[in-house]
Amino acid sequence: MLPDHRHRRHLIEGIFSDFQRTHPKWKGRRTAFLPGHGTTLFIEGIHFIVDGDCSHLPALNKENAEEGAAYQFAGGFVYVKRLYKISKEYAKEHNLLYLDRVETSVGDFALPGGDLSNESLV
């Protein structure tokens, strides 16, 4: 979390543009340089959430999922702990449609936009 509102006026804030194309998943996220932390650039959803406001965070899906990042989810936000893929055999045995999975701060579930197991669940 960022410091409370009294200290926010001392932050240098902006939007991450990814001009060097090194972190495309961070593009559009808010950024800040925090007093006392030198030139370390802090990225919203990676290092901080502004006052619990998740309205500027991207929705979680396969294209933008990154371990350690925060995403909009069910009216709030989640942190991605781990991304993984299950086998087609495991999916069939457990009646799961999606192979791409995500472990988050609120649970473990199918990653939106993930690969399908190509097996009918009926």
Cβ-proximal residues to 28 (8 Å cutoff; 6+ apart), any chain? 15, 16, 56, 58
Query: 3-class SS at 82?
Result: strand
Dist CA 72 CA 59 (whole Å): 5
List the alpha helices (DSSP H) in the chain. 5-8, 88-93
Q: Over the stretch 32-90, which tens digit does the pLDDT of each residue have?
A: 777 777 777 777 777 677 666 777 788 899 998 989 888 888 888 888 999 999 999 99
Six-digit token string for 27: 């593009």
Six-digit token string for 55: 């309205």
Q: Is the CB of residue 91 less than 8 Å from the CB of residue 117?
A: yes
Q: Over the stretch 100-120, which tens digit does the pLDDT of each residue have?
A: 999 998 899 999 999 998 755
